[in-house]
Amino acid sequence: MRTQVGIIGGGPSGLLLSQLLHLKGIASVLIERQSREYVLGRIRAGVLEHGFAALMREAQVGDRMDREGQIHDGFFIAHDGIKERVDLKALTGGNSVIVYGQTELTRDLYEGRDRLGGSVVHNVKDVTLHDLQSAHPHVTYRHEEELERIDCDFVIGCDGFHGVSRKAIPKDRIREYERAYPFGWLGVLSRTPPVSPELIYAKHERGFALCSLRSQTLSRYYIQVPLTDSVEQWSDEQFFDELKRRLPPDFASALITGPSIEKSIAPLRSFVAEPMRYGNLYLAGDAAHIVPPTGARGLNSAASDIYYLYHALVDHYEKGDDRGLENYSNKALARVWKGQRFSWWMTTLLHRFPDGSGFDQRLQDTELTYLFSSPRALASLAENYVGLPF
Ligand SMILES: Cc1cc2nc3c(=O)[nH]c(=O)nc-3n(C[C@H](O)[C@H](O)[C@H](O)COP(=O)(O)OP(=O)(O)OC[C@H]3O[C@@H](n4cnc5c(N)ncnc54)[C@H](O)[C@@H]3O)c2cc1C
């Protein structure tokens, strides 16, 4: 089949781009390796920048987010038995974030694609990218045992960290930067009221913990664990006992526990591949970069890529102006690296590093003391957390 834009991957990046392009009359075909149920079963991010929310509205899929998403004007950092609030609204001159689960957002995007009659093909196999340096790239894949082919002007790789798009770029044309952290996050989703209406990031000598939420009845909690731990090693009871140990006493005693409805361990990694373009292949989202989730940047960095790419493709098709496409990689990477810096900094500030020296720990303590004694330092944290401008 022939289309203008071939999109690989039906996560938030691919779905959002196909929806936005559709509304501008630009045709796309999106192929996804998994079933829709599988994609919608993944529990991932939950903190959205207002720039992302604006894109959802522009894509005509923001109604439920606006109804059910919760505006958060601040969050807590707990350390040494105390909690200190980061007042995002006051520190940024009125900005905040929206707490709305990635699962819900992805559901809204799928519904949006259905409403417009968008072309989304699930359960594809053997996806292969061809002739990426030519003006006529194409993608082949297998679907229900048939070999299919998409001929297009541009291929957009939105297929996440483990996808095929980045790997289709010859090794001598791409550079990868990576840092793997010596720990992971054990996450539990439970149908319980959240311990706090605002997120709590807790630094503790036993390791980091995060109290997050998806709604007034759905809580998402995390604790830092060694990479060697497995989910089976952690009963719900052990998980909540450990979480309570890492929280200040008033939060620990207020915590309502309940059976986990999802439990998983995610390793923490920083990764950037550059450039984010090879011929007529453009990478976006986790296909090109991932961050440790500490700064809530992962999904939001994907959204800024889509913002730049969407505008570049519209300029190409509507005005014959290719400057946006030519500058895409540089522009996207400039913001990606700022998100990387912030995520690395938050991770380093709040985690217990198994190989950290006494010196490192004293620096961590001093960094926190400085943060809460300097309105300017705190304003920098807040500015990055609510999202730098696109
Ligand atoms: C376990 C986990 C927890 C996370 N928690 C947070 C968090 O708390 N906060 C935060 O900000 N971010 C978090 N993230 C990151 C955030 O979820 C991602 O940044 C976001 O999903 C990126 O969207 P994407 O569409 O670029 O990639 P993805 O959501 O990964 O979507 C890529 C899609 O491509 C599909 N695909 C892969 N290979 C192929 C192929 N060969 N052909 C076709 N399709 C393919 C995949 O099935 C997938 O649906 C988390 C990520 C993970 C993995």
Kindly report, residue by residue over 347-356, the tens digit of the pLDDT. Answer: 999 999 999 9
Q: Which residues line ligand 1 (CB under 6 A)?
A: 8-14, 31-34, 39, 44-45, 102, 124, 127, 158-160, 163-164, 266, 285-286, 293, 296-299, 302
Quote the pLDDT of residue 79: 95
How far is ligand 1, taken at its centre, from the CA of residue 79, in Å?
Answer: 31
Torsional sign, CA 53, 57, 61, 67:
positive
User: Helices (H), strands (E): how many in the chain?
Assistant: 12, 20
- Full strand arrangement of the beta sheet holding 82-87: 82-87, 74-79, 200-203, 209-213, 219-225, 175-190, 260-274, 289-290
- Position 165 confidence tier, pLDDT thresholds 50, 70, 90: very high
What is residue 60's predicted lDDT score, i.e. its pLDDT?
A: 98
209-238 average pLDDT score: 96
| Ligand 1 pocket mutation pick from 19, 40, 44 by most atoms within 8 angstroms of CB | 44
Q: In which residue are the tokens 């526990």 written? A: 257
Choose the residue to mutate in 28, 119, 286, 309 for probing ligand 1, maximizing ligand atoms within 8 Å of C-beta.
Answer: 286
Which of 299, 342, 346, 347, when mutated, tests ligand 1's pocket best, judged by the most ligand atoms within 8 Å of its CB? Answer: 299
- Report how far ligand 1's centroid is from the alpha carbon of 94 (Å): 30
Q: Per-residue pLDDT for 183 more than 90?
A: yes
43 has pLDDT over 90? no
Cis? peptide before 259, omega within 30° of 0 = no
Over residues 104-150, the pLDDT tens digits come to: 999 999 999 999 999 999 999 999 999 999 999 999 999 999 999 99
Average pLDDT over every residue of 180-196: 97
What is the rounded CA–CA span in Å between residue 304 and residue 307? 5
**Which ligand 1 atom is nearest residue 264's CA?**
1
Beta strand spans in the chain (E):
5-8, 28-31, 47-48, 70-72, 74-79, 82-87, 97-99, 119-121, 125-130, 138-143, 146-151, 154-157, 175-190, 200-203, 209-213, 219-225, 260-274, 277-278, 281-283, 289-290
- Show the CA angle centred on residue 101, arms to residues 122 and 331, nearest 5°: 80
The fraction of the chain above a pLDDT of 70, given in percent, is: 100
Cα(210)–Cα(198) distance, integer angstroms: 11
pLDDT, one tens digit per residue, over 61-73 is 999 999 999 999 9
Predicted TM-score (pTM) of this structure: 0.96
How is residue 132 written in tokens? 């990426």
389: pLDDT confidence band, cut at 50, 70 and 90?
very high
pLDDT of residue 121: 98
Q: Which of 55, 268, 265 is nearest to 161 (CA)?
A: 268
Closest atom, ligand 1, to C-alpha of 12:
25
Residue nearest to atom 4 of ligand 1 (CA): 44
Q: To test ligand 1's pocket by mutation, which of 8, 159, 276 has the most ligand atoms within 8 angstroms of CB?
A: 159
Residue 43 has a CB neighbour count (10 Å cut-off) of 17
The pair phi, psi for residue 313, each rounded to 5°, is -70, -40
**Cβ neighbours around 204 below 10 Å, total:** 21
**pLDDT, tens digit, for every residue of 365-379?**
999 999 999 999 999
- Phi (first) and psi of residue 314, to 5 degrees: -65, -45
Give me ligand 1 centre to Cα 76, in Å.
27
